[in-house]
Amino acid sequence: MALASTNHVTNLASAELPAPRAILFDLDGTLVDTAPDLANATNALRRFHGQPPLPFEQIRREVSNGGSALVTLAIGLTSDAEGHAEARQYLLDAYEQAVATHSQVFKPLDTWLAGWQGEQKPWGIVTNKPRRYTLPLLEALALSPGALLCADDLSVKKPEPEPLWEAARRLSIDPAHCWYIGDHRRDIEAAKAAGMTAIAVGYGYISEQDDYRRWPADIWFDTCEALVERLATF
């Protein structure tokens, strides 16, 4: 459960954190607010099955858990149930048709990123979202990361560290000099395994049962504003 905003909480003094030479982001719920479009796709599946729409906030909390979790939320079919695969494809097809209708980079992260890109500083995205849905989203938002690793690019994905290592390699930056920012425990586990500074954010898609401050991060930010305030010092 995301706690009320204070500023940020650290287990290292902020000044002791290594200054990043590259910033890597998770995508959904960390860099881009994709929940509105994914919620619309989820409720399209509900309508197809004759069900009324679910509240946006209820869907938002499940977005980081992927399409299968959204199917379970929408119509109660678990991943091993008959009909789940077909329902998941219906949801994903609906999402693909409107992948960037309402999605946008979180504010004020959008302004900071424009400046970071303008200075040609290295940054990247490591996501468990398939490339099929990631590329049109990034194109619509005019985002051009120096490194992009999607769910289907390697044989493994987060929480394994290999995608983060590959992103750092493509940026020609040692992993120890990268910050990885995410809104899910697997993001933090991947960052720690990769030897990167692990940054947890509480403004993302976090379930009510989850306390993101219990994740093994190096630093936690309650709000996007607090994250940007720290990033702006580099």
- H helices of the chain, in order, are 35-48, 56-60, 67-75, 84-96, 109-118, 131-140, 162-171, 185-194, 224-231
Residue among 28, 33, 183, 222 flagged as catalytic: 28
CB 166 within 8 A of CB 129: no
- Per DSSP, the three-state class of 148 is strand
The one-character DSSP state at 28 is: B
CB 39 within 8 A of CB 138: no
Both tokens of residue 76? Answer: 């109660």
CB 12 within 8 A of CB 179: no
Both tokens of residue 100? Answer: 């960037």
- How far is residue 191's CA from residue 130's CA, in Å, rounded to a whole number? 20
Residue among 26, 153, 183, 222 flagged as catalytic: 26
28 a catalytic residue:
yes
Both tokens of residue 200? Answer: 């947890």
26 a catalytic residue:
yes
Q: Catalytic residue numbers?
A: 26, 28
